[in-house]
Amino acid sequence: MALRLSTALRNFLLAHGPCKLALQNGVLKIYSGTQPTTADDAVAGTLLVTISKASGSVTREVLATGTVTLTGGASGSVDTVTVDGINVIPQGAVAFNTSLTQTATDLAAAINKGLSSPEYTASSSGAVVTIKALPGTGTGANGFVVTATLTTITASYGNMASGVAAVNGLSFETAASGALAKNSAETWSGSAAATGTAGWFRFGGSVTDPGTTDSAATYIRLDGSVATSGANLNMSSTSITAAATQTLSAFSITQPAQ
């Protein structure tokens, strides 16, 4: 079977950056049974083993968030929104539209369309826009000041906070010859949680993924087949015994030339 990319992973590659950044500090989980039809589907089979750095206990990344809350005004515009001094709506002001709730929706969309560096993503609920750092930022954005310049509209702000860095996630080498290989300095291993026959794997991003159906395109996932040969992940044996350590000596992702 071919590698299968979740919608969130495909969106990330198109909008934000390379596969290395998307998967950095993630974990690889090996399951029994048949690979799901798409990587947006819920996991199937039994989780046999979670592969981390040197079998270490994994801390999943929490993305730092900040807020812009539109508090008043029935006309005007949000002219800039800055995070750590960087305008995250560089394409221009967002005009008041019907209500503060709709204007917040428009503002979140403008942040998502922007090409600021570094980039951020945004969502809205009511008149509150939540700004979120990209994966890989960890604690780096904590304390960044969120502010805006406005015409007529008024707002309050919550600075970036609550980011948590990933621990014992997996990392990669520099891409070469169209392939992205595991970090050669790392041991990718894990103690098996159950006994069974490996059938497929899911490589998830740095943020916690519940493994449920992802209709909202939230979770970065790369799914593939497992076998002793001819699969996306080849193992010396697909028979896994509970408590036995499983080690992946090699793992790489190849980008076809066309």
The mean pLDDT value for 40-59 works out to 98
Assess whether 227 and 177 both reside in one domain.
yes
Quick one: which H or E segment has residue 94?
strand 94-95
What are phi and psi for residue 111, nearest 5 degrees? -65, -40
Number of domains in the chain: 2
Which tens digits make up the pLDDT trace of 83-132? 999 999 999 999 999 999 999 999 999 999 998 999 999 999 999 999 99
pTM: 0.92
Say if residue 54 is exposed, middle or buried (CB neighbours under 10 Å; 0-12, 13-18, 19+).
Answer: exposed
Whether residue 168 is predicted with pLDDT greater than 90 in this model: the reply is yes
Assess whether 199 and 240 both reside in one domain.
yes
pLDDT at residue number 148:
98
Report the mean per-residue pLDDT for the chain: 96
DSSP collapsed to 3 states, 124-147? EECCEEEEEECCCCCCCCCCCCEE
Assess whether 120 and 145 both reside in one domain.
yes
Domain stops at, among 110, 135, 161? 161
Q: What confidence category does residue 257 fall into, taking pLDDT thresholds of 50, 70 and 90?
A: confident
Q: Which domain holds residue 193?
A: 4-60+166-254
Quick one: which H or E segment has residue 103?
helix 100-113
Assess whether 176 and 236 both reside in one domain.
yes
The mean pLDDT value for 71-90 works out to 97
Which tens digits make up the pLDDT trace of 178-230? 999 999 999 999 999 999 999 999 999 999 999 999 999 999 999 999 999 99
Assess whether 47 and 127 both reside in one domain.
no
Whether residue 1 is predicted with pLDDT greater than 90 in this model: the reply is no
Domain stops at, among 161, 179, 209? 161
Assess whether 179 and 204 both reside in one domain.
yes
Domain stops at, among 161, 179, 194? 161
CA 205 – CA 219 distance, rounded (Å): 7
Assess whether 154 and 87 both reside in one domain.
yes
Assess whether 175 and 226 both reside in one domain.
yes
β-strand 196-204 against 239-240: which pairing, if any? antiparallel
